[in-house]
Amino acid sequence: MKSGFLKTCLFLTFILSGGIAVAAEDVAKGAQLYRYYCMACHQAEGEGIANVFPALAGSEVVLGSAEDVALVVLNGRGGMPAFKGSISDPDLATIITHVRNSWGNDGAGISAQRVSELSAGGGEKIRQDREQQ
């Protein structure tokens, strides 16, 4: 009886997001990771900075294919840095899922495994010598 109640509670703490269940703690972690790695440019509410850093809230790119979003985050694009190797694949998945489900966005999440696959296969990026200039 007790365990059944716990199971129900556990179930309720999951939010179904585009087929990928997101635990409440992942939501909190996603917000935390977003503050760390994304907010400096894309701002607290994903609103970006006009003509400088694109908004993520309501963004067609963000709400398009989750895999395309992952490739941009992994490999960089234009002013966007490449985060492959400096943020773990599970954390990247958490961040992408968070961004696609915040500020009115309602895109499907992405699994850590899929991010790892894209990271390994999606055009191997050899970073510039990361030594300081």
> By CB neighbour count within 10 A (0-12 exposed, 13-18 middle, 19+ buried), where does 15 fall?
middle
What is the identity of the amino acid at 40?
Answer: A
* Binding to another protein in span 38-97, by CB under 8 A: 38-41, 43, 49, 51-53, 75-83, 86-87
Residues pairing with 21 in the sheet: 16
Question: How far apart are CB 84 and another protein at their closest, in Å?
Answer: 10
Locate tokens 């179904």: which residue? 16
Counting contacts by CB under 8 A, is residue 133 touching another protein?
yes
First to last CA, the chain: 63
Residues in contact with another protein, counted by CB under 8 A, come to a total of: 34
Question: How far apart are CB 18 and another protein at their closest, in Å?
Answer: 27
Residues binding another protein (CB under 8 A): 35-41, 43, 49, 51-53, 75-83, 86-87, 123-133
